[in-house]
Amino acid sequence: MKKHIVAKSKVALIVACFVSLAVSLTGCGSEKELTNSAEYEGSSIELTGSEIETTDTGKEVLRVSATYTNRNSEPQYALSAFAVKAFQHDTEINDLSDINGSEAALIQEVKNGKSLSVSYVFELTDESPVEVFVCTPTASEEHIAKAVYLDTEQSSSEKTN
């Protein structure tokens, strides 16, 4: 009986060690570094640049350019394929994209591998760096791509156009 208890204890200890090791391995370095492009369910998007503009009402905005591609045979548009959000000072800034105006391409359907240039417009709070995230179009809005604009210390490959 005593051997049976010792054997169970050893098995439990081994299982605990493996679980602990697995948790530590998945917790360290498993977060994928986000790039400026993402794919999700047959669609892809690449953030290609940005520029500061002033609206008719005098608001400073950041126009973020992107290329949207739908590889599916069913038509889909960029606005439904990805959620795009922007942050300054770790706070989300207003999306002023006008799908009935300058950003109408966001609701233009494409299919079968066709691409389309689209843009998103965000209201700036100041001239500090803007983090733009591409998220899955789900309730969790998982971040799957990222670009930083207006950052004077960013690498030349990330600089705005």
Model pLDDT for residues 15-27, shown as the tens digit of each residue: 444 444 443 333 3
Per-residue pLDDT tens digits for 26-67: 333 346 799 999 999 999 999 999 999 999 999 999 999 999
Mean model confidence pLDDT for the chain: 84
| 77 and 136 belong to one structural domain | yes
Give the 3-state secondary structure of residue 120.
strand
Percent pLDDT > 70 in the chain is: 75
pLDDT band at residue 76 using 50, 70 and 90 as cut-offs: very high
Report the C-alpha dihedral over residues 28, 34, 40, 45, rounded to 10 degrees.
Answer: 180
Query: What kind and span of H or E run contains 19?
Result: helix 2-27
Burial class (CB in 10 A: 0-12, 13-18, 19+), 72: middle
One domain for residues 56 and 132: yes
49 with 126, same domain? Answer: yes
- Looking at residue 104, its pLDDT comes to 95
Q: How many domains does the chain have?
A: 2
Q: What is the CATH number of the domain that holds 58?
A: 2.60.40.1240
Give the domain range for residue 129. Answer: 37-149
pTM for the model stands at 0.76
Both 16 and 45 in a single domain? Answer: no
Q: What one-letter code names the amino acid at 1?
A: M
Domain co-membership, 52 together with 101: yes
Three-class SS of residue 121? strand
- More confidently predicted of 38 and 153: 38
Using alpha carbons, select from 74, 73, 57, 82 the residue that is nearest to residue 138.
82
Same domain, 7 and 27: yes
> Do residues 63 and 103 share a domain?
yes
Higher pLDDT residue, 90 or 158?
90
Distance of CA 107 to the CA centre of its chain: 19
Rounded to 10 degrees, the C-alpha dihedral 129/135/137/141 comes to -100
55 and 106 part of one domain? yes
